[in-house]
Structure 1
């Protein structure tokens, strides 16, 4: 079973003597694969050692950027929406947990 990988991964595999089996996904499969990748990267983030957190956050961010793009959104527009939500509802800085 395959998985979505970054664009340069097949080249890197070739550079190390491998021959990757590559499929270019259609729109629906790509969207589904991105959501699977987001779950995978989020899981890796949740399990990361403190020294690995920044790298795992970067992986999650890259997947989120691709999800935005495939749905026709510019990243700067996502950031504006985020800022507006933060202004209206706050962030998560105060560590408030309802329950």
Structure 2
């Protein structure tokens, strides 16, 4: 008989991941995060997804952006905000400070 392999992750996952793991014949050990654990876990997930986007092949970038979008929505909800409020805040900030369409890179400021 083969030896059972255990992989430790210790990270926030999408809701259906345990179901997907178990449908593949493996066991997923999960727990529900409490309120104090959720925000830091989402911030860590955002960093993880940003790194995955950075490393992604061009054909995989849309999926990685979708993951970031999902995490942002969950962060907004955790903070008691709707995604619409987040979008409005982004519009306001864009109107006030601009977006990133001009591709400006600030090298330095003097004087």
* Cα distance in 1 between the residues matched to 2:43 and 2:97: 26
Q: Which has the higher contact order (CA 8 A, sep 6+)?
A: 1
TM-score by length of 2: 0.85
Aligned pairs, number? 99
* Cα distance in 1 between the residues matched to 2:30 and 2:63: 25
Where in structure 1 are there 5+ consecutive unaligned residues?
none
Rg: which structure is higher? 2
1:8 maps to which residue? 16
Which of 44, 65, 69 aligns to 2:52? It is: 44
1:88 maps to which residue? 96
* Cα distance in 2 between the residues matched to 1:48 and 1:14: 27
Q: Deviations over 1:8-58 (max 9, x none)?
A: 011111111111101111111111111111110000001111111111111
Where in structure 2 are there 5+ consecutive unaligned residues?
1-8
Q: Does 1:19 pair with 2:27?
A: yes
TM-score by length of 1: 0.95
